[in-house]
Chains A and B, each alone.
Chain A
């Protein structure tokens, strides 16, 4: 009995030890973590000292994709016709304080970019430290509370599960174990990654929204959104799982040299859906002609296409798009509307 108590106590990291741990991380790495700026907004920035770190239920305004999926990525340098691969040159980085919702987002990005050398290069140099803090209100029931068995479907290196006075420590990779070993903290519990897909399959709420969009289309929802949305594209930048990109060549002033690059794109921009030939669906060479069509395309990506392609939720419920939207479009309200339209149509049947 006494022995069991001792073991449990040892699997935890108290406040002092945690501060030492953050100090230790800062010594050899670039650490990015949530911090309040002078205006009182929570952003992700390079951490200078442990006191600046915020670990809590509030989600930062920025998403972690800024560090994993660079906004601008040079892919090749060319000289004449010779292309030379240009991999991102980043130092080892630690993402500290990634909420479980954002871990879900990173897990999806890991799947989407599994074959992408540029993403993998960054992933190789990145250590992710997750936390069990969750926003106080969650639209998705799955994220309503933290449970240990949810960890096996998330990708992380170290995970801090908040207890009453301290953190229980889990590891999710050998890199995470090595780091803790070096810090001389050995009482962690290892979680074997069991793949991204949960035993019960797709999230039930996600399945219902997908079904609502595909089988019970309600034009009124999209017409209303079309009137409110101003196509600024801020939601696509704020979203942790918006990963669209555009590829372009950039010539330099020197003769026959330049680079092939990619950068984030937004489906709200006109050029996004440009096609060469005019057709009945693209009379002006654009497939997405109205605001309503654009916002529908955005929802379709998150709620239909991503679940269909990766069997993973295309929305993690962080609400960043809602917070950033100048027109106050609430993603959870839209989902409620889709589900209500579905319920109405099903009743009629």
Chain B
């Protein structure tokens, strides 16, 4: 019987600094045959410092390595930031329900990301870059605090070749990007309302973005968003991430807005 909690040590092959507070770690594959889909996550751990979930941010069919982006916020992430190239990180996974990318084939796609919400969407963007004809048109709306916390900024020129990348900042330090909330982009850009929307960001962003989308005629079943919860087991047992009849770790983290809209519970998921 396989121990579902087995931790695989992955070697850090490269560390790429991302903005002021984050780093992207390129890791060796946890085990042969490891594969994932955009929106899935792994539990990363260091002995003595516990575990936390990180969205997989690399190309989904990469058979050599995986990438996670870690923002320094707590004990574990600070300890991870101290790690150097060649060190080991414990990984188990991948877990969770991914974004339904097959549904988006040959359709318009809208990506909405807020701050550190961009990593789980990056596998999709990289897939769109690799297969430019797979999706009709890919719009990216990316909102962040300021220039220093724009992740994957070095790749933006590459992204722009295939995707329509739009960025807004809460407090811009330069004049490169416009000031404003990500919702403002909906007034500037005309995204066809038949687009499939994939979102990841803070819950407060979801609230206003979904309102805007529904106003513009998006269908609730075409809006997909990723929820964040504290998780211990990642297998739908420990109850920490439970919301109503669902477990975010197993039934999510990606939910369609239609599912959350008909969420029959007093405790709201958003």
Contact = CB atoms under 8 A, between A and B. Distances in A.
A217 interface: yes
A276 B267 contact: no
Given A81-B88, A117-B1, A245-B238, A214 B267 contact: no
B3 interface: yes
Interface stretch (A7-15, A188-196, A297-305): A297-305
B239 interface: yes
Interface stretch (A57-65, A139-147, A199-207, A246-254): A246-254
Nearest to B53: A276
A54 interface: no
Given A116-B4, A297-B267, A280 B204 contact: yes
Interface string A96-119: 000000000000000011011100
Interface in B147-204: 202-204
Nearest to A85: B3
Task: Identify whether the interface residues of B are mostly helix, strand, loop, or mixed.
Answer: loop
Interface string B1-26: 11111110100000000000000000
Interface string B225-260: 000111011011111101011110000000000000
Given A75-B5, A272-B240, A280-B204, A300 B232 contact: no
B55 to A, nearest CB: 13
A115 B242 contact: no
B47 A80 contact: yes
A156 interface: no
A288 B239 CA distance: 13
B237 A293 contact: no
A273 B240 contact: yes
Contact of A275 (B204, B230, B244, B267): B230
Contact of A81 (B50, B90, B229): B90
B207 interface: yes
A297 B119 CA distance: 31
Contacts of B50: 247-249
Contacts of A82: 9
Most buried by B among A85, A112, A246, A277: A277
A175 interface: no
A274 B204 CA distance: 17
A244 interface: yes
B214 interface: no
B269 interface: yes
A276 B228 contact: yes
Interface in A259-302: 260, 262, 265, 267, 272-277, 279-281, 287-288, 293, 296-297, 300-301
B268 interface: yes
Contacts of B32: none
A115 B267 contact: no
A69 to B, nearest CB: 11
A281 B203 contact: yes
A217 B49 CA distance: 41
A117 to B, nearest CB: 5
Contacts of A222: 266
A225 to B, nearest CB: 12
A265 to B, nearest CB: 7
B232 A247 contact: yes
Nearest to B201: A277
A177 to B, nearest CB: 24
Interface in B69-103: 73-74, 88, 90
Nearest to B203: A279
Interface of B: 1-7, 9, 47-51, 73-74, 88, 90, 202-204, 207, 228-230, 232-233, 235-240, 242, 244-247, 264-270
22 contacts: A81-B90, A82-B9, A83-B47, A85-B3, A117-B4, A120-B1, A213-B264, A214-B245, A214-B265, A247-B50, A258-B47, A260-B47, A272-B240, A273-B240, A281-B203, A281-B267, A293-B266, A300-B244, A300-B265, A301-B239, A305-B244, A309-B245
- Which are the 8 A-B pairs with shortest beta-carbon distances? A214-B264, A279-B203, A244-B239, A308-B245, A78-B47, A251-B48, A247-B232, A117-B3
